[in-house]
Amino acid sequence: MTVDLVKEISGEVFKTVLLVSGPVLLVSLVVGLVISLFQAVTQIQEFTLTFVPKVIAVFITMFLFFPWIVRILMTFTTDLFNKIPVYIR
């Protein structure tokens, strides 16, 4: 296993992690920003007001993006397993 091979695998891992986690993190960020703006405007400082909508939004996002996430992970895993003979040379 060479340094270039490790570099290639690491790059694919980071790309896959960003693709899989991106939509969920983006939705969480947007919901948090909207709720923070709402709290600043209304001066309501309730912890559950930020927590519950984020959890619901993340759950809905994961539910909607689950087939796409599974497809990305299956493709990555299949490619990784198919390249095992190249890795052990």
74-86 pLDDT per residue, tens: 999 999 999 988 8
User: Quick check: 72 pLDDT over 90?
Assistant: yes
Tokens of 70: 């599974």
Which residue range is the domain that position 52 belongs to?
A: 3-84
Q: For position 78, what pLDDT does the model report?
A: 96
Is 11 a member of any domain? yes
Q: For position 32, what pLDDT does the model report?
A: 92
Alpha-carbon distance of 22 to 8, in angstroms, equals 21
What average pLDDT does this structure show over 55-83?
95
> pTM for the full model?
0.80
Is 89 a member of any domain? no
Query: How many structural domains compose the chain?
Result: 1
50: exposed, middle or buried (C-beta count within 10 Å: 0-12, 13-18, 19+)? Answer: middle
15-55 pLDDT per residue, tens: 999 999 999 999 999 999 999 999 889 888 887 788 899 99
Is 79 a member of any domain? yes
User: Quick check: 56 pLDDT over 80?
Assistant: yes
